[in-house]
Amino acid sequence: MVSISAVLPAYNEEAIIADTARSVAAVLQGLVADYEVIVVNDGSRDGTADRVRAVAAENPRVRLVEHAVNRGYGAALATGFDAATKELIFLTDGDKQFDVREVREFLPALATADLCVGYRQPRRDPLLRRLNGWGWNRLVRLLFGYVARDVDCAFKLFKREVWEAVAVESGGATFSAEFLIKARRAGYRITERRVTHLPRGGGRGAAAPPPGGRSPGARGPGRRRGGGRGGGPGAPGRTSLRARSATCSGCAYVCTASRCAGAPLSLPGAVLSRLTVARARASLPNSEPPQPLPARRDARAGLRVLTIAPTPFFGDYGCHVRILEELRALHALGHEGLLCTYPYGQDVPWLAVRRAPRPPARWHARPGSSRHKLYLDALLALSALPALATYRPDVVHGHLHEGALIGYPLSRLARRPLVLDFQGSMTAEMIDHGFLRPGSRWYRPLRQLEAVINRLADAVVTSTHHGAQVLRRAFGCPARRIVVVPDGVNCDHFAPPRPDSVQAARVAALRRRLALPPGAPVVVYLGLLAEYQGISHLLEAARRVLVAEPDVHFLLLGYPGQEHYRAHAAALGIAARVHFPGRVPYEHAPDYLALGEVAVAPKLSATEGNGKVLNYMAMALPVVAFDTPVNRELLGDLGLYAPRADVAALADRLLEALRAPAAARERGRALRARAARHFSWEASARRLEHVYRRLGGG
């Protein structure tokens, strides 16, 4: 069944954005059964966001995504495309300059093409803008050959897989040209259709800056301005292409002049600026078409995998579960694994583990960022080195960035491929943990180090498509090296108890031990107790829920912050209804989760995976979560979403699930079916095996 995500960038479109969003939704509703309308508010200073929220209240298929400040047209498109969850992406502007009904004629074209691009005929723009567009299209054609008749036309329909495969770096007005050039060079098929272009119906213009003037988000000469995804751009005048490709605070389009001081460009200067950036980007390594990993030899024997895990494995949380289940599934396929890890943690009976020597300091490794990791990583590297001679691995697999950094010299000494298991941005995680501030002197060096580590590996595996997008767009990692290996779940282990079963008896006994009243509804959370996991937000939401439904109990399963959050709950006056059993062994987690009627995932991190959601799904629990790209990938349309960090909305979604138990149970059953269908550890292990063998492992 075809599904469509419509993306509407908007900047100061208060007068017309509501009508545009409603008309797009009405057209898509009559065209496909599954659709969504994503309005990207690019830092508007008027009531654009409020108008969209009003429409979203009428139609839950309309979503608002916001930039805190104006970042430019290309950045708005990238944000919208990243947020899209459907099979096809439909782009149209929020200023009602197109007849949206014409998308009906575009849909059949995708039976034989990957992108259908509109061209405006006639074009209802001022003369200067038409001349600018005419010159730009011909210059693009002169440099790169025929790409499309109207590369900047904001009426396109294309398969989402194209966006996921093509790395576009521009955050400004060259975005559309770069996207189409790279898509065509990657082998994707482009077809074109005429579209009716209408005069503007109101508003102050799209997120793209006007010719010859300042961009909407300009902050004055010499100031830096965000120009895209990932790390911030450099100041005008720097020599790096990435720094200069950001939308300049003073230029009309994209500034590449090494001595720009924020002076507005003339029309020829603006076009030449765009042309220079497009020419340079076309020569970047990540502009190459996606290529399969290089094949060397294809032995069928089991592989020996040396895994570097710079963490106190095993610790019943997060990345540890991914490491454990990957190795377990690979073992079931006939491969061997040796795990090199910190001196702390629990042993796993069937897994060979080599631990680093314990340092003399009385320090116990805790989850998250810490300066202690410096010497622990050094000890881990020294303990892993002898494994090259004794174990003789076929592949070195580094988990987290430190694992890849340690594994790189080992892989080169052994002449074996290195795989990085990317489980989120290193610097973003440091910021989430409060270990690093974006404006500190350490941020830029650490961000650069992260980019270097991402490129050291022969292949990078990540659990989500969003992670792959972060690697491509924020760090310039070549698309051909990135492979999505989703997190999985064992649906036999994580399963709701059958009546009169041994598990049901265990769950009943557990309920009595935790003093949960019979029949009282329970909201469960499983994972680390930390701020970046959104625990304070969850407690605030719990207070609101308990005002409306005082019989509800909250069961927060995890560690290490039990005492801190217990005190927080007491301060909120909800301690009697919020329970902190502490650390739950992974093998016992299904029994604890079976106590719940609703599961909650308030994680705030925008880049890390969220494997606990799969455990909830397998337990047939309805899931309330913050609306992040990672959660959307896991839950699809079956999740109950609240805007990120919105406590009131989180409480409302919890109440929605608690007050309609029959609908919640049906949603939970659908989520379990989705987990079984799409998230199998065996399937993920086979993807890993394919990566290893294509790299020449074994």
- pLDDT tens digits, one per residue of 114-129: 999 999 888 877 788 8
318-332 and 681-695 helices cross at what angle (nearest 10)? 70
Tell me the pLDDT tens digit for each residue of 484-526.
999 999 999 999 999 989 999 999 999 999 999 999 999 999 9
Lowest mean pLDDT among 28-32, 95-99, 150-154: 95-99
Check residue 207 and give its pLDDT: 43
Is residue 214 very low, low, confident or very high in pLDDT (cuts 50, 70, 90)?
Answer: very low
Amino acid 316: pLDDT: 75
Structure tokens belonging to residue 76: 């708005």
CB 305 within 8 Å of CB 336? yes
More confident residue, 553 or 442: 553
Q: What is the pLDDT of residues 128-138, one digit of tens each?
A: 888 888 888 77
- Of residues 363 and 413, more confidence is placed in 413
| Predicted local distance difference test score (pLDDT) of residue 434 | 76
The backbone torsions φ and ψ at residue 631, rounded to the nearest 5 degrees and listed phi first, read: -65, -35
- Residues, the chain: 698
Task: Write down the pLDDT at residue 122.
Answer: 80
**How far is 114 from 385, CA to CA, in rounded Å?**
48
Q: List residues bridging with 600 in a β-sheet.
A: 624
Q: Is 105 in contact with 193 (CB distance < 8 Å)?
A: yes
Residue 430 CB: number of other CB atoms within 10 A?
A: 20
Question: Average pLDDT of 93-116?
Answer: 87
DSSP 3-state of 326: helix
Per-residue pLDDT, 200: 61
* Cα 129 to Cα 152: distance, rounded to the nearest angstrom: 12
User: Between residues 167 and 327, which one has the greater pLDDT?
Assistant: 327
Q: Any idea what DSSP says for residue 197?
A: B
Rounded distance, CA 451 to CA 472, Å?
10
Q: What is the distance between the alpha carbons of residues 277 and 241, in angstroms, rounded to a whole number?
A: 8
Query: What's residue 361's pLDDT?
Result: 60
Which range is least confidently modeled, 13-17, 235-239, 648-652?
A: 235-239
Over 90: is that where the pLDDT of 677 sits?
yes
Q: Specify the amino acid at residue 35.
A: Y
Q: What's the CA angle centered on 504, arms 499 and 506, to 5 degrees? A: 165
In terms of C-beta density within 10 A (0-12 exposed, 13-18 middle, 19 or more buried), how is residue 389 classed?
exposed
Residue 79's alpha-carbon distances to 289, 315, 638, in angstroms, are 22, 35, 22
Mean pLDDT of 452-480: 92
CA distance 157 to 174: 19
**Separation CA 583–CA 183 (nearest Å):** 48
- Is beta strand 155-159 parallel, antiparallel or unpaired with respect to 190-195? unpaired
pLDDT in tens, 570-624: 999 999 999 999 989 898 999 999 999 999 999 988 778 888 999 999 999 999 9
CA-based diameter of the chain, in Å?
79
What is the number of helices (H) and of strands (E) in the chain? 25, 20
Backbone angles phi, psi at 580, to 5 degrees: -125, 85
CA 568 – CA 489 distance, rounded (Å)? 32
Residues 393 and 337: their CA atoms lie apart, in Å, by 9
DSSP for 290-306, written as a single string? P-PPPP-----SPPEEE
Neighbours of 137 (CB within 10 A): 19
Q: What is the pTM of this model?
A: 0.58
Say what percent of the chain tops pLDDT 70: 83
Query: CB of 426 within 8 A of CB of 450?
Result: yes
**Which region holds residue 308: left if phi is over 0, alpha if psi is between -120 and 50, else beta?**
beta
Q: 281: Cβ–Cβ under 8 A, 6 or more apart, which residues?
A: 169, 170, 174, 178, 241, 245, 287
Summary mean pLDDT of the chain: 82
Inform me whether the pLDDT recorded for 226 exceeds 50. Answer: no
Q: What is the pLDDT of residues 264-320, one digit of tens each?
A: 333 344 444 444 444 444 433 333 333 333 333 333 468 999 999 999 998 877 789
Beta pairing class for 598-601 and 395-399: unpaired
